[in-house]
Amino acid sequence: MKTVYFDSAATTQVRDEVIKDMQKVLAENYGNPSSTHAFGRASKTIIETARKNIAKVLHAQPQEIIFTSGGTEADNMILRCAVRDGNVSTIITSPIEHHAVLHTVEELRNEYNIVVEYVKLKDCGTPDYEDLERLLKANDERKLVSLMHVNNEIGNILDVQKVADLCQANNALFHSDTVQSIGHFSWNVEETPIDFMTAAAHKFHGPKGVGFAYIRKNSNFKPLIFGGSQERGYRAGTEPVHNIKGLETAFMMAYNNLEEERAYVQGLKDYFKATLKEAIPEVKYNGNCEDTTMSTYTLLNVCLPMSAEKALTLQFQLDLKGIACSKGSACQSGSGKGSHVLAQILSDEDLQKPSIRFSFSKFNTKEEIDYVIDVLKEFV
């Protein structure tokens, strides 16, 4: 059976070079990074070299990069520490954030009695920046804004510079879940006054189980996990050296090849979008997917014209044909619940139709797109 993978927003295929570097570390650099002998020092060097190289690309300081188990832990760390240690009493976010943010914010409200405000959304799902400014100016309470850079379901791109400037003008902290954009978009934290960012290696052809938090220096956060003094004291526990090496290799390759691979993947999305519209003229694109400047080049969220009854079997049929895609974020697709993102932006009529997220990478081809569209056309 032919198989095609169009679910890179959920997780990406690991690069061969990443696997090779990780295997080498597993075989040769098995010393504990906290040990003072040569084996330990060699492992520690791998970690600190990765930290330095990642920081250089982001125009950050090495001490501002804290390795974690992934984006969810990094989001939790930042939000919790901001409330516990940063005197934040109000968090402003949006109803279409990843649940790593939404559930954490709700838990913090229950634990610390903080105020949680949700910025209004425009019809396409973009935050209303005038409403954000209103919320920031509402009172003198210490605030943190948490808005993701690229939405993981519909691909909308946040105007990070605009939000950062608004936060700076109103003495608010700014956290952005950048899990879907790190490795796919350039960053310069010296020019954009962002305080906190998060990343997960498996979103840019690295291993699962490792990521990092960018925490601007002098944030005065205390440890979230207690034990040893690893990760500048922020996160105790023996570091997974092989995973950190895999993260570094994937990260550096993503940015060394950024322009070439971005142009290729953008071409795939454009081809998919045009060919699907020709095959199924009634198809709709959710969010800002039709606008190349307002939506990421890595994914396309489509609403297909069919009845709710027929829609129930669509994903099953796609799977039978060997097509991997997603009806929402991978974190939600097994829950039986509808997308909380689409519920905010689609009409009741369109919510009854199937919306599918197709996400692309350098490993995809136009031939695979042709196959998927033929299957979709036949089913619709």
Question: Known catalytic residue: 331?
Answer: yes
Is the domain of 288 the same as that of 374? yes
pLDDT of residue 309: 85
Mean pLDDT of the chain: 95
Average pLDDT of the segment spanning 97-113: 97
d(CA 372, CA 322): 9
pLDDT of residue 331: 47
Long-range CB contact pairs, 217-223, < 8 A, 24+? 217/61, 217/63, 217/64, 219/81, 219/85, 219/86, 219/195, 220/85, 220/86, 221/77, 221/81, 221/82, 221/85, 221/86, 222/81, 222/84, 222/85
Higher-pLDDT residue of 334, 176: 176
Residue 34 Cα distances to 26, 38, 45, 112, 230, angstroms? 17, 11, 11, 35, 8
pLDDT of residue 328: 55
Q: Is a pLDDT exceeding 80 seen at residue 182?
A: yes
Looking at 226, 256, 286, which one is the last position of a domain? 256
Q: Is a pLDDT exceeding 90 seen at residue 341?
A: yes
Is the domain of 324 the same as that of 372? yes
Is the domain of 148 the same as that of 228? yes
307 pLDDT band (50/70/90 cuts)? confident
Count of CB atoms within 10 A of residue 210's CB? 25
Q: Is a pLDDT exceeding 80 seen at residue 334?
A: no
> Which 8-state DSSP code applies to residue 203?
G
* Domain CATH for 200: 3.40.640.10
When divided into structural domains, the chain yields a total of 2
Is the domain of 225 the same as that of 343? no
Is the domain of 82 the same as that of 148? yes
pLDDT of residue 315: 87
Looking at 256, 286, 301, which one is the last position of a domain? 256
Is the domain of 210 the same as that of 97? yes
Looking at 222, 256, 290, which one is the last position of a domain? 256
Of 89, 148, 142, the residue nearest 296 (C-alpha): 148
Q: Extract the tokens encoding 51.
A: 């930290």
Is the domain of 243 the same as that of 262? no
pLDDT of residue 330: 44
Is the domain of 65 the same as that of 180? yes
Indicate the range of 44-58, 173-187, 195-209, 340-354 predicted with least confidence. Answer: 340-354
Average pLDDT of the segment spanning 175-192: 97
Q: Extract the tokens encoding 140.
A: 């003198």
311 pLDDT band (50/70/90 cuts)? confident
Q: Is a pLDDT exceeding 60 seen at residue 336?
A: no
Q: Is a pLDDT exceeding 70 seen at residue 333?
A: no
Catalytic residue (choose from 167, 303, 325, 331): 331
Range of the domain at 23: 16-256
Is the domain of 193 the same as that of 294? no
Q: Is a pLDDT exceeding 80 seen at residue 178?
A: yes
pLDDT tens, residue by residue, 111-146: 999 999 999 999 899 999 999 999 999 999 999 999
Is the domain of 226 the same as that of 299? no
66 pLDDT band (50/70/90 cuts)? very high
DSSP 133-152: HHHHHS-SS-EEEE--SB-T
Is the domain of 252 the same as that of 108? yes
Is the domain of 211 the same as that of 329? no
d(CA 270, CA 364): 13
* Domain CATH for 375: 3.90.1150.10
pLDDT of residue 332: 44
Residues of the chain with pLDDT > 70, as a percent, come to: 97
DSSP 170-231: TT-EEEE--TTTBTTB---TTTS---EEEEEGGGTTS-TT-EEEEE-TT--PPPSB-SS-TG
One-letter amino acid of 71: G
Average pLDDT of the segment spanning 42-70: 98
DSSP 26-59: HHH--S-TT--SHHHHHHHHHHHHHHHHHHHHHT
